[in-house]
Structures are given as C-alpha cells and as structure tokens.
Structure 1
C-alpha cells in the first residue's frame, strides 16, 4: 500500500481516538440565557463569570453568548434612538390622569373634588412636560378652596444629566387673593442621582412674575426659582416622591415636592409629599399632603394653607 494510504489511515485513527470537545452543559446554558432574558447586565456578567470558572473548556462559547447579547442590546438602543428622532410632535407621549373627591355630613358639611393631568414627551435631546391641577372645596355652603394651576416646561438635554429648562406657569386662587398669576422662568438643571429606583434633580434660574389680585390691583416683579425633585421607588408597587423649589405642580407618580420662588413682592413656597401605590394594571391610588406658604399675602388672607388629598390615578 502507498504511504498516502497509511497517512490518511493514521489521521482517521487519531481523530477517532481523540476525545470530543465537551459542549456547554444544558443547565449552564439555560442559566446564562435566563440572565440574558432579564436584561440586567450585572446579572449577565455575574452568571457568565461563574459559568466560565466552573466550565473552563467552554469559555469561548460563553463569551460568544455574552457578546451576542451585548450586540442585540446595542442594536435595540440604536433603534429606539432613531425612533425618537423620527417621531412626530404628537407621538411618544405618556402621562396619567388623577381624580379624587370627598363629602362629609353631620356637624359640618364638606364637599371637595381634585383632579390633575400629567403629560410627558421624552425625545433624544429634549423633554416636554405639561402639568395641570384643580382643587375645589366647600364647607357649610362656603367655598373654602378654589385653585387651578397649569404649567408647560421644555427641557434641552446637554447630556444624560445636565439640562436647560424653561417654565411657563399659570395659577388662579381667589381664596388666596389673586385672580391670576403668571410665572416665567429659565435656567439650568442637573440630575444628581439617576438610577432605577432613586432620582434626584435640582434646577435654578431667574424668573418673572405678574399677579392680578382680586381687589383689582396688580404687581410684577423679578424673582428667582429653585426646584428639587426627589423620587424613590420603594418597591415594585410603591413610590415616594419629593419636589422642592420651582415646579409648583408635583410629579404625578407619587411624590414629595417643594418649590420656592423668591421675589421682591412675596415669596412663595410649595411642598408636596405623596405616596403612590399601584392597585392593578394602570390603576394606582395616591395620598398627598401639600403645604403652601406666601410670605406677604393680600390683607385678610392667611400665609399658610395645607391640603390632604386621596386620589385614583390612571396611567396612559
């Protein structure tokens, strides 16, 4: 027989004698795939590291699975960014509606209603926020609260944390002594904390305020605005938020909020603390406590008022 025959025979015999490369064990594969499906990168990295330590012969296959996962996430992120860029003005809005009320009889007769609307549009380089809230209350036949607020706030994002804001705010509260009050402001904001469960945003800037009082007088003045917005998702179905500073309307996700506007006429401080609990699907319940303080209100008006409010929220 020829030497070529013996060479081919020897190669075939060696191939049959060599042990086959072990495939990645199925339980390990399932564990890695489950981590990838969760979408939590830290979990994927931890599971992959453990899998490579216990299966050193399969490092290349594990690395390939992780690399494919990263590539898929990058492609999804790029597609989401492109969708935001191409979306029209009336697309990609989300928000929530809020309504609550109460009635008591007996020694006192009280009736009150409260409603609110929150709309948000988040684009690639900018955000747009609209807030509206109305409260009405009567006690023993006398109107004791009648307040309406609406605001529009565009934000331009310099990066993931730093942004510029503009604010247009309208308020009406005849019980507090003014038919209308307009506030315009612009400045800078920064996200101090920004993660899945906790966010803390601060903003500040100059402002201009014009007020028309119920007695026919009016006042305009320069002001300064300071705002703090703190959100804490305590659990999957429970959220606490706190705002302080210049956005008088509180975040509708369950919140605590405070706003301060400093002017040469009267300084305004508003603080709202709220707790929102998800009931089912898109329906949530919220309890909120608000403090409003004016340092120099019209004659006969109190400086500080408070309100406790329980409402139902519907996300859309």
Structure 2
C-alpha cells in the first residue's frame, strides 16, 4: 500500500517538471494569514501556501503546497498538510489532456492520509485576456486513503477507482481585482464515498506584487470515518505575494 501512495506523491512532484527542457512563463505566489475553521476543528490558525505554475505552447503545469498548524497550551489542536500537482497537454487552443495527483494529511480528519491520481479531458470553454477563463474537466483515476483507526470491518484503508469532475472560473474584475470559484467532486466507483470541495476567493492588489485575499472553502465527505463530521469549512484572510 505504501507503494501506491509513493506513486501519487511522485506524480505530484513530476508535474511541474514536465517539458522542463523548454523555456516557459513561470508564475509563483506565496500567501500567509489567519484561518478560522469549523467542523472537525474549531480554532483560529496560521496557514501558509505556495503555488507555482508555468505555461508552454503545448504544456501547462501547476503545483501547490499548503500547511496549517495551531498549538494551544502546548497541545496541537490543528495540523494539516496538502500537496497537489497537475500537468496539461494542450492539443488545441482550448482542449487538453490532464494528469493530476493530490495528497493530504489532516491530523483531525480521521484519516492518516488521503491520496488520489486522476487523468482525463479538459476544456477552457471561455477565455478573455490573461486572467479570465472558465474551464471544465472530467476523468478517471484511483484513490487510496489510510484510516487512523480500523473501521467496523477491521479495515484500515479505503481504496477505489474514482470519477473526477471539476470546474474553475476566474474573472478579472479589474486590473487590480480577481474573483475565483473552484469546484471539484471525486466519486468512488467501488466504495460509496464522494468527496467534494469548493473554494470561493476574492483578491485585490494592495501595492506592487502584494495583494489581500479573502477565501471560503468547503470540503464534504459523504461517508467520513466514524465520529467525524461530513463537512469542514475554512474562512481565511491572507496576504498574497506574487513573484
């Protein structure tokens, strides 16, 4: 089982390196701020995120890493680490094939870790300028989640073929403000568990490359580990620096 998880992590790391022999436009951003959560954890936390993307004539690569950690009276009350990567092969101006890997370790979710690998088809249905677009994608893949404790059947892991559906809408309100909506759903084809995530964000330039960002995130697990909530929410206000 460890090998399956290693494959997912390897794909995440490989995505930003696709076609590295060619030169492309590289965009990076770093954000840090305060996070307020509800659900399995109800705390105020400090969170950080690093995202890297580059664009080639035929390839588009993205990688993202995030973490949050809170301690109260020398006791950890929230701890989460996430990594995901995706590479797109653009076979015409709008359409592309994608390969995506994701990994998450949330200490209070009931899972030791969650991981998935998916591949499929995507389309930028609408695009305007450098920042505004609407894309949709669908594909098939594999999910492997390890539980903190064995379930009622004595199993300590969940694995299944999955179908993934996702969409992202970015709209440049002005040259200093951007609205973003991301939605994704991964449906288990062999075990009855659907994981859906949503992120709604608004960012505005403060000065130079520094922006203020407000975001609301929701994660829903239809069949979570015993004793855990189905829905977690995050409300964050962060400073974002692009370079």
Q: Distance in 2 between matches of 1:126 and 1:276?
A: 26
Unaligned runs of 5+ in 2: 1-18, 37-41, 151-155
Of 188, 204, 208, the residue aligned with 2:142 is 208
Q: Which residue in 1 is equivalent to 2:132?
A: 198
Q: Please list the CA deviations of residues 219-250 of structure 1 after superposition, one character each: whole Å capped at 9, or x if unmatched.
A: 11011100100001111211100011xxxxxx
Q: Are 2:35 and 2:47, in contact at CA under 8 Å, matched by a contact in 1?
A: no
Equivalent residue, structure 1, for 2:79:
146
1:124 corresponds to 2:51: no
Looking at structure 2, the residues matched to 161 and 89 of structure 1 have their Cα atoms a distance apart, in angstroms, of 21
Spell out, residue by residue over 1:65-112, the C-alpha distance to the aligned partner (whole angstroms, 9 max, x if none): xxxxxxxxxxxxxxxxxxxxx973686422101111379xxxxx9551
- For the aligned residue pairs, the C-alpha RMSD in angstroms reads 2.3
Q: Aligned equivalents of 2:119 and 2:92: distance in 1? A: 18
Q: State how far apart, in whole Å, the 1-side matches of 2:77 and 2:133 are.
A: 36
The residue number in structure 2 matching 1:72 is: none
Whose RCO is larger (CA < 8 A, sep 6+)?
A: 2
Indicate which of 141, 147, 157 corresponds to 1:218: 157
**Residues 173-188 of structure 1 correspond to what in structure 2 (within 5 A)?**
173-188=106-121
Pick the structure with more helix per residue. Answer: 1
Partner of 1:136: 69
User: TM-score, normalized by length of structure 2?
Assistant: 0.81
1:156 to 89, 99, 102: 89
Q: What is the distance in 1 between the residues matched to 2:77 and 2:69? A: 8
TM superposition score normalised by structure 1: 0.63
Question: Residue in 2 aligned with 1:311?
Answer: 238
CA–CA distance in 2 between the matches of 1:236 and 1:91? 23
Judged with a 3 Å threshold, the aligned counterparts in structure 2 of structure 1 residues 91 and 235 are, in CA distance, closer, same or farther, namely: closer
Per-residue deviation, 1:140: 7.1
The whole-number CA distance in structure 2 between the counterparts of 1:123 and 1:226 is: 25
Which aligned pairs between 1:275-294 and structure 2 lie closer than 5 A?
Answer: 275-294=202-221
Task: Tell me what 2:166 maps to.
Answer: 227
| Cα deviation code 1:25-61 (max 9, x no counterpart) | xxxxxxxxxxxxxxxxxxxxxxxxxxxxxxxxxxxxx
More strand by percentage: 2
Q: Which residue is 2:186 aligned to?
A: 261
Distance, in Å, in 1 between the alignment partners of 2:117 and 2:206 is: 37
How many residues end up aligned between the 2 structures?
Answer: 212
